[in-house]
Structure 1
């Protein structure tokens, strides 16, 4: 029986060959995407583990390590918006622990750099970057210590007394705990959160692929059912029919699974270039475990067998079941209940935001899942509604026939595009939320003062605050530096604690102004403050009662340097670091701090775009297969219609409308509900109103829909060949 089933699958004529190829192609896409997701999760874990040693400062000496200690100081630097991890060490014994990636601790006056930082140091003027690092290059940090090929890391050797003065900590072990399992770690990835995001991406990509596989399995379903029913009538048992169907599906699934592994191997180098976590992966990180390989290699064919059994269950029940075709019951309006419940839940939390993060995740995730479930469940009812509107407003026969057919069986019409629901909903919700968040709290405009001004703040733990004489006089003479402002230490109080004269603010113009009649303003140490989160660049500061004449006697709280170009910005930063090497935080701009939080959000937005750009063509392929299968099953009725005088263009209009109406309806509803869910979330969590997505979002949606429509259009020429007079005669 197995041999017979294999012959049917491989040598059963054009229909069998087409079905085999389409199912194998669908499985190939699904397996490739699944393997890419699994490899991505493994890569996140591998990358995260190499962040561990950078958290050594949070692991002070303990009895678990060796007796030998070293001084350890970790700080963050920037160059043109890219962060640099700066580790300064001093061994206290010959066997002091050594960080990974270097052969030994650097001596005083030596440093090791990552390959990316070495390349950067060799390509930019020393006054902009290299002069910040004392000593000479001793070597290159190996990959074992680098989270990414793009990581900018330096390990500098310093005298023990210097590091003690700088506030370094004594450690006797290099941190090896995964940041995901470390409550005190400050560097690394939230692996659970990233795994959740990648899982959502995988589900959003796999759902349309699974719909594609299901549609391909139903290709020429009516003719297959008739063939299997004939076998039943001549004595084949239900078990034999199930066996034949399972073998046919397994052959296609095995071919597709093998091709899926080849597809993953082909795209793996490109995947390594995608900065899913904000940084690229090493190619070796995108690896599959033996369990991953076994689960996919065995699970996909097993799933294909189950899908085949479900697709042909009517034949297994009765050999005459295929002749008993009746109009299915129309879907009921009760399918809207989860959708309405999800919207109501998100709306209820506006003004009632939960207190803890876990409560917020539970509240909002539940609402989103309810809406998504409701969309999938309500899809047939919405399709039926759209079909009835189409039929009721029809002015041409094609629209009337298409509307009536969709209204009679809306589940079938919706099934082939149901995969779009997940993808478009997630993409629209992510785009709406991220666009609004970044606009309100993301990276400031590159021409705004929040991005062009550099500030160095002196904290109490940095030691005695400097005087004006300690600030390098050469700062103001750097070409491209427009102003150097000293913010004085004001009284300790909530809110702004710095002081600047109103005459200075009037001279600078770009940092705000004083109220009328004031002589001194209370300002934030960087002259920016929380207004960087808004879209405004001007502010009126509150007046301070401190006399202007006494400001010269107060210590300096911060130095703010405004520049007109990036070269001047970096030269000023280098000069400040050399002048004040003991500060806890190196000079930076508000824009750089905000860019760190916005960068990962932008990566998530790119993932959402990938979901949409992949899902729309896949949905188009599903529709094309569904249309081709429907034409094969209905070629006799269409042939008879042509014999009665119906024009070929009319039949093409029927077929096109049956495919296009569900596609456009699902796209519109999914995008609308995604933006609504994003608006309700933003109102509840951040009290923001949704901003319109950028034009690029609509362009991608339109482009994806056009590609899908073109794919559908490729099936229409089949009508002429399938509906000729010979079809009616031969059938």
Structure 2
């Protein structure tokens, strides 16, 4: 028995190579289709390794910022401060370094520390600075480049980063003294909603890949069945025929695995040149999970055999030909409703049970329910197409050719569209959950962007006059309309009782000219030399009470007396919508010039219509102080975890869209190849090529429209269940739903257009040739 099975499988493998040109074309198309799917699965299994590699490198170059007790200076310590900037939407990571001794730690990727005025940059930043597009960035980074950051010190090959040597840093400013690089802190765990979103993303992105592989395995099955009918003529029974077909499928699956491995290995050679939403990875980071890769290597051949045998159950292969059972027997609906029913049964117990910060759903239960609901689209779609096309008729010649073809082989049409329909259904559900997650992970900043669009600031161990100097330089910047610049210091009342945490109560001191103070506080009149006192208001972040006129306070290391002439004033929200009590003083107020270590904050109104206005602002800020931060104000801010997921989703959607297009194109070409003699015969008897082109379009458009309609229903249902699980109200964004469906329809139109040149070649007279 076993020997017979092995003999039949070997015969099938030999026949796969001896099937003539048709057999070789079918085998090549199957191998390419399976190979694309396998390469996608290997790439998907590499995502955890890529993320871990990026995390390890960034953790190794980060540093622990110690709390209130500064590290003691030694020959093994280093002063470091952030100097991050941004250029036309590109984040540039920067650090200023100043060693305390010859044995100071060196960041990963650097051989030695840069000297003052020297700069070590990443290869991507070096290329940008030397290119014409980087002309506006060069004034911001004019220092001499003395080296390149190695791979160990970069998150990815396309990261923009630099280290700048300095001799101006002090521990009294915002510089941190460290004795090593490497931060072992573990990031916050994902919230339950974000964890649920990740599970759904993997289901939505991976399921179409599996369906694409299943469709590729069935390429050319009609020609294969006709060859097997010839074997029946020479004495093979039905069981032997199935074993021979299984042997062919194993060869095709094996070639597909080899092609997939080849596609993957070739594709990763170009991965370093790809950047999506600031994310890039090294080639060495792309390592498929060994267990997952083994499962793929075993599952693909097993699926090939199972799908082939299952497909043959709907056909009767006799010595004189092949009879398709689908022509006389209508598909039944009742059993096709089982997958969505079971999927709902899995997800229903989780409704209202997934909290944003406490309860978490079982990922396997969620994935299983989502997979069954999405699979129901592929299960119901053949019945729906058959039920609809059975009632179609009339119309022009192209329409009648398309409808008749669908009536004869609606299963083939459904198989081609299944991947598109499942991807659209998953995309709609994902969009609904994504919108809810975006709303719950968007944090209102309270910033009034009508009063200012940019905030800039820094700390420096000088006097409050530096704020006026910074304001003057910003006013001379192209595109800046108005500037509010002030110095902020922290005062301490040593006589006040300390709170339980052991820190003395503090209050802010703001130093600016009268025009700026009038924007920060409601004052009656002002002249240089005046001072004002604003009482503590509700929500004030400072714990201490505002001192009275003439009281003695400490500001850093300086004793200062509040001017006796200080008058009371009312608070007014600044551009960050914060109100603060404290002392508001003009630069000439008594004793203010002697204060040290202010924080400078500057609010700018800019002409947003001016090109690169934010880059000019950043250039000015970097010239004032490389450690000066520049923040573009906005009304809401998304959490960093949500932004990471959003970037991953974007990458996945791009890959899925490319895969869907490839799937449709290969499937359409396979169907045209299958019908080439019929198409050539139609042209030979007078059919117009344009008529055949329109028939191909209608033959694809009808199943796609039915599939998209079913996908909208299924996707909206799954999205509603997921929203109910996290306790969010069900909202349908029909604009985004139509956008997803429209994108899928556009992909179909593009694929149809790409298939027309092949159609014109197939309908030539030599298409009537046979072997």
Structure 1 residues 427-466: aligned runs within 5 Å? 427-429=427-429, 453-456=453-456
Contact 1:100 1:144 in 2 (8 A): yes
Contact 1:117 1:153 in 2 (8 A): yes
Q: CA deviation at 1:10?
A: 2.2
1:559 paired residue among 575, 585, 602:
602
Specify the alignment match of 2:420 in structure 1.
420
Q: CA deviation at 1:323?
A: 6.8
In 1, Cα distance between equivalents of 2:416 and 2:210: 11
Specify the alignment match of 1:670 in structure 2.
711
Contact 2:37 2:212 in 1 (8 A): yes
Q: CA deviation at 1:32?
A: 3.6
Specify the alignment match of 1:98 in structure 2.
106
Provide the secondary structure at the position in 1 that maps to 2:93: strand
Specify the alignment match of 2:120 in structure 1.
112
Structure 1 residues 640-679: aligned runs within 5 Å? 660-671=701-712, 673-674=714-715
More helix by share: 1
Does 299-308 or 289-298 show the bigger shift? 289-298
Contact 2:452 2:603 in 1 (8 A): no
Does 600-609 or 50-59 show the bigger shift? 600-609
Q: Does 1:21 align with 2:23?
A: no
Q: CA deviation at 1:615?
A: 0.8
Structure 1 residues 56-135: aligned runs within 5 Å? 56-57=63-64, 68-74=76-82, 76-91=84-99, 94-107=102-115, 110-121=118-129
The C-alpha deviation readout for 1:140-182, integer Å capped at 9, x for no partner, is 21122112233222234456x94422355554443276xxxx5
Specify the alignment match of 1:355 in structure 2.
356
Specify the alignment match of 1:272 in structure 2.
272
Q: Does 1:223 align with 2:226?
A: yes
The C-alpha deviation readout for 1:517-536, integer Å capped at 9, x for no partner, is xx988435447x9xxxxxxx
Q: CA deviation at 1:431?
A: 6.2
1:212 paired residue among 215, 235, 250:
215
Specify the alignment match of 1:608 in structure 2.
653
Q: Normalised by the size of structure 2, how large is the TM-score?
A: 0.65
In 2, Cα distance between equivalents of 1:648 and 1:469: 77
Structure 1 residues 388-399: aligned runs within 5 Å? 388-390=390-392
Specify the alignment match of 1:143 in structure 2.
151
The C-alpha deviation readout for 1:625-655, integer Å capped at 9, x for no partner, is 35765899x99xx99xx99xx9999999999
In 1, Cα distance between equivalents of 2:26 and 2:708: 27
**Structure 1 pair 276–296 and aligned structure 2 pair: CA distance change class (3 A):** farther
Specify the alignment match of 1:375 in structure 2.
377
**Structure 1 pair 338–235 and aligned structure 2 pair: CA distance change class (3 A):** closer
Unmatched tracts of structure 1, length 5 or more? 505-518, 530-543
Provide the secondary structure at the position in 1 that maps to 2:105: coil
The C-alpha deviation readout for 1:88-110, integer Å capped at 9, x for no partner, is 44445544432211112345554
Q: CA deviation at 1:436?
A: 9.8
In 1, Cα distance between equivalents of 2:450 and 2:339: 45
Contact 1:452 1:562 in 2 (8 A): yes
Contact 1:342 1:367 in 2 (8 A): yes
In 2, Cα distance between equivalents of 1:476 and 1:463: 21
Does 415-424 or 547-556 show the bigger shift? 547-556
Contact 2:449 2:635 in 1 (8 A): no
Specify the alignment match of 1:153 in structure 2.
161
Q: Does 1:523 align with 2:562?
A: no
Q: CA deviation at 1:482?
A: 0.9
Q: Does 1:164 align with 2:171?
A: yes
In 1, Cα distance between equivalents of 2:311 and 2:134: 69
Specify the alignment match of 1:51 in structure 2.
58
Contact 1:89 1:158 in 2 (8 A): yes
Specify the alignment match of 2:633 in structure 1.
590
More strand by share: 2
Specify the alignment match of 2:304 in structure 1.
304
**Structure 1 pair 484–21 and aligned structure 2 pair: CA distance change class (3 A):** same
Specify the alignment match of 2:388 in structure 1.
386
In 1, Cα distance between equivalents of 2:154 and 2:443: 26
The C-alpha deviation readout for 1:690-720, integer Å capped at 9, x for no partner, is 2624998676434322244457776699799
Unmatched tracts of structure 2, length 5 or more? 1-6, 490-505, 509-516, 525-568, 593-597
In 2, Cα distance between equivalents of 1:18 and 1:295: 28
The C-alpha deviation readout for 1:59-117, integer Å capped at 9, x for no partner, is 999xxxx9955445446433333222233444455444322111123455544222333
**Structure 1 pair 95–358 and aligned structure 2 pair: CA distance change class (3 A):** farther
Specify the alignment match of 2:481 in structure 1.
482
Does 130-139 or 366-375 show the bigger shift? 130-139
Contact 2:314 2:325 in 1 (8 A): no
Contact 2:429 2:715 in 1 (8 A): yes
Q: CA deviation at 1:571?
A: 4.3
**Structure 1 pair 197–84 and aligned structure 2 pair: CA distance change class (3 A):** farther
Specify the alignment match of 2:282 in structure 1.
282
RMSD of equivalent CA atoms: 6.2
Q: Normalised by the size of structure 1, how large is the TM-score?
A: 0.68
In 1, Cα distance between equivalents of 2:135 and 2:22: 71
Aligned residues: 665
Provide the secondary structure at the position in 1 that maps to 2:182: coil
Specify the alignment match of 2:670 in structure 1.
625
Does 676-685 or 303-312 show the bigger shift? 676-685
The C-alpha deviation readout for 1:446-470, integer Å capped at 9, x for no partner, is xx968983203679x9999888546
In 2, Cα distance between equivalents of 1:128 and 1:716: 52
Provide the secondary structure at the position in 1 that maps to 2:64: helix
